[in-house]
């Protein structure tokens, strides 16, 4: 009697000719990356490339944009033909270079014009417009490694090196652009030193401080990301998102190295850096922060530190501007009455100082108490947003600056998102008060003490199953050892316990805990 296994199976017609789907292992993230890069490149063609023309009016820009758009198809063509992903990675990287060269050429034209402007007259230099910011972000995304390439063991190293090379090139570009802006400013000082009064130095100093502020906002988070900081990577992304949003709403003017109080064009390169920093290849180079609750608290703290630094610099800039205005009025003879303008500037100075205090207070309280201080941090951030909005409304004499918008909205939104959206944060927020901190041994103020040693099981509400279960959330384990001393040996033996928590437990010199630690596999 035959069995089902004895019955011959006839293959379906054409089955022998079927090949595996070459796009079957492409994650949705890669398709989204290609779509965003395509949209950015296309949108940039309708924006201003410089003071004098739009991107679509320049043949060179149109050609390099077309090359970057064509590079998006390389991966799919290589996959369809059964080629190597390494080939796709290399070809996309080479096809992204023409756009970078085009941006460098425009920057060179702007630099020459900025240094020569004092001699040639009021003719504006080239400048770097919104199209540069948006288009370069699209070209960088097109050339950057994809998630599938970063997940390939044979390509992971090359993908990380390429991503870091792109970020390093953008950082070098920021530094060079801002250094040239300072050089153009110093050149103007030297040429006109014999025709200006001493008080003019005040205005020039204000311009120099603004250039340094733009350099810090553009280059600081980028440098920290290259050095492996996960929190500052998110600060970079927030600044990039704010810059891109203002660019697409036509709120971002043409940036230039001309010493005109604009702060230099360094922020033009930030959207590209933020886009690349979000990639899987960069994520793999960042230092992990455990537990996850601590990681997101550190993101919020980094945002607050950046807010405090930027707002503090704006205080200095506006104070110098106020002094310069008063000296100018005095030189002109006192017939002018700038009371309304000086009052507005003084109010902006005071409001910026309030933002500094609010941001520092939020950073300190969350640093000391961890997620238990989340409500306080959120309220302080909301207050900073209100004050920042008041600053933008008060500055009715000028369009809201990019730095003001980053301080008022971009970075505060990042802090709010970090304290509300991640799953680890929301889960820890549901724990009893006092248990949602960073965890013993990893808080900003060092190891927690044994203040809760007298707490009984009926008081803390934790169970032995939770303490021993490897699936228990890390924040819960930290809360258990802090609030339930009798369960500490179980946590010490838990395979999921993280190194800082184990180190803190070892400092207790509890015989039962030490025995559990000794029983852990080495």
Mean pLDDT lowest among 247-261, 270-284, 309-323, 399-413: 247-261
To 5 degrees, how large is the angle CA 12–CA 17–CA 18? 80
Stretch among 9-13, 336-340, 476-480 having the lowest mean pLDDT:
9-13
Q: Rounded to whole angstroms, what are the CA distances from 382 to 258, 360, 385, 411, 508? A: 36, 14, 5, 12, 40
For range 433-448, the mean pLDDT: 43
Per residue, the 3-state secondary structure of 485-508, as one string, reads HHHHHHHHHCCCCCHHHHHHHHCC
Q: What is the mean pLDDT of residues 366-380?
A: 89
Distances (CA, A) of 78 to 24, 152, 156, 201: 14, 16, 18, 59
| The predicted structure's pLDDT at residue 107 | 94
Confidence class for position 41, pLDDT limits 50, 70, 90: very high
pLDDT at 222: 97
DSSP-assigned letters across all residues of 382-398: HHHHHHHHHHHHH-TTS
Higher pLDDT, 249 or 363: 363
Stronger pLDDT, 485 or 72, i.e. the higher one: 72
Q: For residue 431, give both structure tokens.
A: 């724990």
The band of 361, judged by pLDDT with boundaries at 50, 70 and 90, is very high
Residue 15 has pLDDT above 70, yes or no: no
User: Residue 290 is encoded by which pair of tokens?
Assistant: 């455990």
Which of 282-286, 303-307, 483-487 tops mean pLDDT?
A: 303-307
* Residues in a beta bridge with 48: 54
Mean pLDDT of 6-17: 49
Q: What is the pLDDT of residue 120?
A: 47
Q: Which residue has the tokens 């920042």?
A: 388
User: Rounded to 10 degrees, what is the CA torsion of 417, 419, 422, 424?
Assistant: 180
Which pair of tokens denotes residue 142?
């097109």
Please state which of the ranges 357-361, 412-416, 437-441 shows the lowest mean pLDDT: 437-441
What confidence tier does 481 reach under pLDDT thresholds 50, 70, 90? confident
Give mean pLDDT, residues 182-207. Answer: 68
**What integer is the mean pLDDT of 157-179?**
95
Of the candidates 401, 327, 388, 317, the one whose C-alpha atom is nearest the C-alpha of residue 359 is 388
Query: What is the Cα Rg of the chain in Å?
Result: 28
Q: Which residues contact residue 349 at a Cβ distance below 8 angstroms, ignoring those fewer than 6 apart?
A: 315, 318, 319, 322
pLDDT over threshold 50, residue 310:
yes
Location of structure tokens 């400092």: 507
Q: What is the pLDDT of residue 474?
A: 78
pLDDT at 454 over 70: no
Cα–Cα distance between 411 and 380 in angstroms, integer?
13
Predicted confidence at residue 123, as pLDDT, reads 63
* Residue 204 contacts residue 281 (beta carbons within 8 Å): no
Q: What is the pLDDT of residue 4?
A: 45
Determine the Cα–Cα distance for residues 341 and 135; give it in Å rounded to an integer.
Answer: 38
Q: What is the DSSP letter of 401?
A: P
Please tell me the predicted confidence (pLDDT) of residue 271. Answer: 96
Based on the number of CB atoms within 10 Å of its own CB, is 106 exposed (0-12), middle (13-18) or buried (19 or more)?
Answer: buried
In this prediction, residue 333 carries a pLDDT of: 58
Q: Rounded to an integer, what distance in angstroms lies between the CA atom of residue 419 and that of residue 399?
A: 31
Q: Is the pLDDT of residue 18 over 60?
A: no
d(CA 255, CA 270): 13
Residue 327 tokens, joined: 């000296």
Q: CA-based angle 247:170:129, to the nearest 5? A: 30
CA 418 vs CA 61, 135, 377, 413, 415: distances in Å = 38, 29, 11, 9, 5
Give 362 or 119, the one with higher predicted confidence.
362
> Tens of pLDDT along 118-129?
544 456 778 899
3-state helix, strand, coil in the chain (%, to 5): 70, 0, 30
Whole-angstrom distance, CA of residue 516 vs CA of residue 203: 66
What's the mean per-residue pLDDT of the chain? 83
Cα–Cα dist 441/389, whole Å: 39
Over range 330-350, report the average pLDDT: 72
Give, in degrees to the nearest 5, the angle at Cα 309 between 394 and 285.
Answer: 130
**Residue of 374, 388, 369 whose CA lies nearest to 416:** 374
**Burial environment of residue 209 by CB neighbours within 10 A (0 to 12, 13 to 18, 19 or more):** middle
Give pLDDT, residue 402.
85
Res 288: pLDDT: 82
Q: How far is 325 from 380, CA to CA, in rounded Å?
A: 33
DSSP states along 403-428: HHHIIIIIHHHHHHHHTTSSHHHHHH
Rounded to an integer, what distance in angstroms lies between the CA atom of residue 501 and that of residue 517? 11
Average pLDDT over residues 83-106: 94
Residues 6+ positions from 331 with CB-CB distance below 8 Å:
197, 199
Q: Which residue in the block uniquely carries the two structure tokens 């103020």? A: 445
Nearest by Cα to 90 from 137, 159, 35: 159
How many other CB atoms are found less than 10 A from the CB of residue 464?
13
Q: What is the pLDDT of residue 479?
A: 78
- Conformation bin of residue 520: beta by default, left when phi > 0, alpha when psi is -120 to 50: beta
pLDDT value for 433:
53
Q: What is the pLDDT of residues 217-250, one digit of tens each?
A: 999 999 999 999 999 999 999 999 999 998 887 6
Tokens (6 digits) for 212 = 């340094």
């Amino acid at each position: 009697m035959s069995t089902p296994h004895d019955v011959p199976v006839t293959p379906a017609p054409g089955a022998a000719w079927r090949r595996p789907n070459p796009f079957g292992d492409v994650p949705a993230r890669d398709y989204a990356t290609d779509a965003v890069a395509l949209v950015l490149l296309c949108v940039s063609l309708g924006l201003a490339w410089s003071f004098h023309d739009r991107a679509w009016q320049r043949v060179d820009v149109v050609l390099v944009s077309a090359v970057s758009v064509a590079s998006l198809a390389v991966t799919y063509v290589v996959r369809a033909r059964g080629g190597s992903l390494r080939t796709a990675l290399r070809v996309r990287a080479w096809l992204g270079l023409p756009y970078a060269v085009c941006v460098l050429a425009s920057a060179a034209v702007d630099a020459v014009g900025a240094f020569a402007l004092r001699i040639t007259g009021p003719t504006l230099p080239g400048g770097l417009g919104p199209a540069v910011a948006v288009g370069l972000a699209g070209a960088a995304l097109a050339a950057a490694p994809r998630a599938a390439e970063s997940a390939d063991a044979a390509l992971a190293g090359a993908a990380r090196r390429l991503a870091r090379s792109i970020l390093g090139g953008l950082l070098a570009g920021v530094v060079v652009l801002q250094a040239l802006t300072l050089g153009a400013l110093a050149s103007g000082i030297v040429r006109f030193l014999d025709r200006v009064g001493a008080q003019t130095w005040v205005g020039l100093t204000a311009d120099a401080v603004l250039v340094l502020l733009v350099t810090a906002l553009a280059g600081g988070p980028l440098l920290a990301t290259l050095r492996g900081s996960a929190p500052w990577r998110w600060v970079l992304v927030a600044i990039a998102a704010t810059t891109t949003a203002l660019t697409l709403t036509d709120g971002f003017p043409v940036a230039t190295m001309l010493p005109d109080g604009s702060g230099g064009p360094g922020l033009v390169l930030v959207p590209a850096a933020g886009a690349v920093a979000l990639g899987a290849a960069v994520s793999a180079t960042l230092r992990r922060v455990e537990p996850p609750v601590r990681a997101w608290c550190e993101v919020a703290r980094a945002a607050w530190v950046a807010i405090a630094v930027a707002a503090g610099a704006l205080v200095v800039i506006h104070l110098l501007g106020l002094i310069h205005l008063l000296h100018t009025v005095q030189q002109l003879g006192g017939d002018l009455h700038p009371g309304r303008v000086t009052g507005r500037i003084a109010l902006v100075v005071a409001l910026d100082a309030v933002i500094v205090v609010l941001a520092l207070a939020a950073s300190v309280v969350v640093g000391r108490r961890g997620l238990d201080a989340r409500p306080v941090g959120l309220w302080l951030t909301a207050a900073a947003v209100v004050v920042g909005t008041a600053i933008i409304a008060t500055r009715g004499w000028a369009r809201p600056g990019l730095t003001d918008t980053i301080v008022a909205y971009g970075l505060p939104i990042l802090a709010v998102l970090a304290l509300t959206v991640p799953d680890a944060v929301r889960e820890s927020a549901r724990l009893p008060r006092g248990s949602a901190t960073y965890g013993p041994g990893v808080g900003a103020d060092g190891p927690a003490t044994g203040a809760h040693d007298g707490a009984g099981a009926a008081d803390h509400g934790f169970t032995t199953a939770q303490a021993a279960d490897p699936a228990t959330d890390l924040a819960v384990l930290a809360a258990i050892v802090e609030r339930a001393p009798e369960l500490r040996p179980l946590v010490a033996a838990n395979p999921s316990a993280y190194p800082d928590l184990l180190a803190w437990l070892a400092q207790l010199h509890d015989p039962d805990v030490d025995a559990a630690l000794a029983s852990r596999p080495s």
